[in-house]
Amino acid sequence: MFGTLKGRFLIIFVVVAAAGWLLYSRGVKYGLDLQGGMHLALEVSDPQRTLTPEARADATDRALKIIRTRVDQFGVEEPLIQKVGADRIIVELAGITEPERAKEILQQTAFLEFQLVLPTTEVVQALTRIDRAIVNALGEEAFAAAEEPAGRQGEAIQELLFGAAGDTVEGAAAEGAAPGERRPLTELLMEGGAGEFLVAEEDVPTVQRFLALPEVKQALPRGVELLFGATPEGRGAQLYRVLYVLQERPFLTGEHLEDAQAGRNQQYNETVVTFQLSRQGGRIFGRVTSQHIRDRIAIVLDGEVYSAPVVQSEITTRGEIQMGQAPLEEARDLALVLRAGALPAPLEIVEERTVGPSLGADSVRDGKIAGVVGVLFVILMVGLYYKLAGLFAIGGLIVYVLLTLGGLAALNATLTAPGIAGLILSIGMAIDANVLIFERMREELALGRTVRTAVDEGFKNAMSAIVDSNLTTLITALILFQVGTGPVRGFAVTLSIGILASFFTAVYITRTFFLAYIGKRAPSTLSI
């Protein structure tokens, strides 16, 4: 069936319909130079020059792998990510809609730690010493303006909201304090759950400033660390931040993390991030959790506690970060950062360029104009020179353009300015194939062959030259795709698809047009 004329037209119809549907349903994606986007140049941050050249190069290589993971999962089509020189990484994100968010994710140096939550007893007993350290460090005059911190809401509100659980820790901490002695930190703390204090959201910056003082760090009990939760919690009409009491040394870090996925806990309708640990990490986690049943383990990311679940049973390789009612997008960002791993060193943006939509639109318009003008010029020349045969070639050329664009849509490839050049180049090769065929036909007609024989011999004799030229060009395009990056690969992809489409249209579609014409008209001569 497919050898008949109807069969050939059926194949052409199916191929053209599939290309048209792909082009309609998916469309062609434009690259950075056509639709706009963001260009970034990043380097490993080492202001103190403590890294050796070898360590700096190694850090850059590791960062390159991490950035590729992050960008691939960010949803950007055909990003350009490449290493330039020994310590610079170039990133081009075409059509990015949230550039600030993308920059934050690319630069983020996630450091995941698992730490035990300790009882508040030791810290409460040390609060008098800590308060004195704060007063000594900042000076008495810093607290002379007001006896009560501005962010306090009053004991009546505390009792109304919390009862005994919301009591301040002043009573327990004041045993060793002299009458009238200032208690700047104690006054800002309220008792929370096991291993935690509550701090009013407006007081968090003040407490953070206190905890950052070297004198306070020295006054803390040995092996104890105080870290805030990542998000505030509502208690009545007031927002509070949890201040956790943690074992300073983590028992596990993010180097053992293998995977992380965002989702929602259907049972509690909470946003969660589930993570998978390596075998070694699972063994460590299992040993610690088996020894601390009913205790809490804090999941700390970049110095903030994201979750502190109670250990109900031994946990080995799988765990979960609970994020409450946080947006799912926030959980995805967290999972992305965790999945990529921690950057070996911070990255800084040393160059940033944004290609705006107007510039991209101009590039698209100029490319379309150049392509249309080139195609029209080719059509005019072919039509005038080869007459009827030229019209068949033009029909095949129209199909070729549709097949090429449909192929780009099928592969989800991105069309760039160099890609447009590849498209126009393959148009020239398609016409060149037709020229070879038509000239062979002329030679056969000059020898007195019939029209049918001239057509058959023309395609047969030109086939070797067409195959050789297309095959060598295709091999070159594949090599460019393999070794090239960014625009070069875009050029190679478009050229490869164009070569295959041009070969099909020249050898199969154009011949089908000739066969249909000969079968219907049975001409004694051919206008060529």
Distance CA 407, CA 309 (A): 51
Return the closest-CA partner of residue 14 out of 1, 27, 30.
1
Q: Are 509 and 399 in contact (CB under 8 A)?
A: yes
What mean pLDDT is predicted for residues 440-460? 89
Taking 70 as the threshold, does the pLDDT of residue 177 lie above it? Answer: no
Which helix (H) or strand (E) is 244 found in, with range? strand 238-247
* Banded pLDDT at 116 (limits 50, 70, 90): very high
Q: What average pLDDT does this structure show over 459-467?
A: 91
Helix (H, G, I), strand (E, B) or coil at 309: coil
Q: Phi and psi (nearest 5°) for 213?
A: -70, 135
Q: Cα(463)–Cα(386) distance, rounded to whole angstroms?
A: 19
| Residue 93 near residue 70, CB atoms below 8 Å | no
Identify the structural domains of the chain with CATH numbers, from first to last: 5-27+356-521 (1.20.1640.10), 37-109+346-355 (3.30.70.3400), 114-328 (no CATH)
pLDDT digits (tens, 9 = 90+) for 36-55: 778 888 888 777 777 788 87
What's the CA gap between 399 and 382, in Å, rounded? 16
Q: Give the tens place of pLDDT for each residue, 407-448.
A: 988 887 777 778 888 888 888 888 888 889 999 998 988 888
Distance CA 412, CA 421 (A): 19
Sign of CA dihedral 223, 228, 230, 233: positive
3-state helix, strand, coil in the chain (%, to 5): 55, 20, 25
Strand residue runs (E) in 291-447 = 297-301, 304-307, 318-322, 347-355, 414-415
Query: How distant is the alpha carbon of residue 488 from its chain centre?
Result: 21
Judged against a pLDDT cut of 60, whether residue 13 lies above it is answered with yes
- Tens digit of pLDDT for each residue in 497-516? 999 998 899 889 999 999 89
Residue % of the chain over a pLDDT of 90:
23
| Whether residue 81 has pLDDT greater than 90 | no
- Greatest alpha-carbon span in the chain: 123
pLDDT over 60 (residue 308)? yes
Tell me the pLDDT tens digit for each residue of 191-229: 888 889 999 999 999 999 999 999 999 999 999 999 999
Instruction: Return d(Cα 282, Cα 317) in angstroms, integer.
Output: 4
Helices (H), 263-356: 279-291, 328-340
Nearest Cα neighbor of 40 from 485, 360, 486, 351 is: 351
The first and second tokens of residue 235, run together, are 């208690």
**What pLDDT sits at residue 157?**
33
Contact 199, 243 (CB under 8 A): yes
Mean pLDDT value of segment 372-383: 81
Give the torsion through C-alpha atoms of 302, 304, 309, 313, to 10 deg: 30
**Which residue would you say has higher pLDDT here, 82 or 294?**
294
Tokens 């999941």 locate to: 299
